[in-house]
Amino acid sequence: MATQRFRAVRNALAAASMLVLLAACATGPEIRTQAAPELDLSRYTTYNYVEHPGTDRGNYRSITTRNLEQAVDRQMTARGFTKSDHPQLLIDFHTMLRDRLRGEIGPYWGWGWGWGPGWWGPGWGWGWGWGPGWWGPGPWGPDGDIQAYQEGTLTIDIIDASSKDVIWSGSAVSRVSRAALEHPKASIDETVARIFAKFPKQPLQAAQTP
């Protein structure tokens, strides 16, 4: 039981740290969105959150989930939606961190799979490599320079509460560093704002501006 609790707390802290790092990238995260072909947001006026968001671990609500909900509340309210106990929309969150490997191309090079334990657990990724051992034998060349980095993703799913179908999804994807930042809540706010900047319904004040 103690081990399970430790893992749950570790995973929750890892998710929070990953969100901070996403927003801290100098160039900002890449935003990717998907929408259902029949999407008509004019049908919806109320929202709330799924009972157990993907950012929760165990039977408790994480700080990361609370910060995400507060950030999304501001974005949804600005667009005219009302939080309700009988919502038409449900919102869920997911985070993912992958270890990646890459390197400069030498005289002899090739693609290969790399694996590393990373900060948040094992992960696979494509990358350039050289020599035997970690990458296995291959013509990687003497001038190869392997570099490990991490790619983080935050996804916000907006779901039709009646059909249980996702009608819109936005993700922030970015290469992240391991630097510790001091203001995680502000960084989460920024990442959420970047995602909602691509949301089909813009803030009411912005929509009314000539």
DSSP string for residues in 108-162 = S--EEEEEE-TTTS-EEEEEE--SSSSS-SS---TT-EEEEEEEEEEEEEEEETT
Pairing of strands 123-128, 111-116: antiparallel
Q: What is the pLDDT of residues 175-203, one digit of tens each?
A: 765 543 456 787 789 899 999 999 999 99
Look at domain 2-97+150-208 and name its CATH class.
alpha beta
The pLDDT value given to residue 194: 95
Q: 35-44, 90-99, 148-157, 170-179 — which one is most confidently predicted on average? A: 35-44
Token pair belonging to 176: 């992240």
pLDDT at 77 over 50: yes
Q: Which residue has the higher pLDDT, 63 or 142?
A: 63
Q: Three-state DSSP class for 188?
A: helix
134 backbone dihedrals φ, ψ, rounded to 5°: -55, -45
pLDDT at 129 over 90: no
Mean pLDDT for the chain overall: 74
Q: What is the pLDDT of residues 5-59, one digit of tens each?
A: 545 444 544 555 555 545 454 457 899 999 999 899 999 999 999 999 999 988 8
Number of H helices, E strands in the chain: 4, 8
Number of neighbours of residue 57 by Cβ within 10 angstroms: 22
Per-residue pLDDT band at 121 (split at 50, 70, 90): very low
Mean pLDDT of 87-112: 73
Reading phi first (left if > 0) and then psi (alpha if -120 to 50, else beta), residue 28 is in: left
Per-residue pLDDT band at 204 (split at 50, 70, 90): confident
* Residue intervals in the chain for CATH 3.30.160: 2-97+150-208
